[in-house]
Amino acid sequence: MGYDTAHKTDAESVVPEEFGGMWFLKDELDASDLGVSVLELEPGGKGKEHDETDTGQEEVYFVVTGTVDIHLDDDTVTLGPEEAIRLDPDQRRQIENNGGERATLVLAGAPLDR
């Protein structure tokens, strides 16, 4: 078959429901390199501060609903609906929902060395 489909709840959330939810869909979509996740953050919720230096993976975050702050080493970028950011593997980042509604993002990442 030349395609695969998935619903976000085909994967188990790795974030407790009271904070929103995060569903990794790479395995459900049988993707070999591209990781795709859905992240939902309640107001005041934060994602894990991290970088992707060990994986060599660049990431793109696309905001579907809500507004989020992306905290970087020396900057904070605020994104609203239909806005995106691309991040180098070594860029430390943390997503935070400082808005008044639940934020939904689609996250995609793949190694650069392919």
| Boundaries of every domain in the chain | 12-111
The two three-digit tokens of residue 91, written as one number: 């860029």
Distance, in Å, from the CA atom of 86 to the CA atom of 11, rounded to the nearest integer, reads: 24
- In percent, how much of the chain has pLDDT > 70? 98
Cβ neighbours of residue 32 closer than 8 Å, sequence gap 6 or more? none
Query: How sure is the predictor about 1, in pLDDT bands with cuts at 50, 70 and 90?
Result: low
**pLDDT averaged over every residue in the chain:** 94
pLDDT, position 71: 98
| Residue 114, pLDDT above cutoff 60 | no
pTM above 0.85, yes or no: yes
CATH class of 12-111: mainly beta
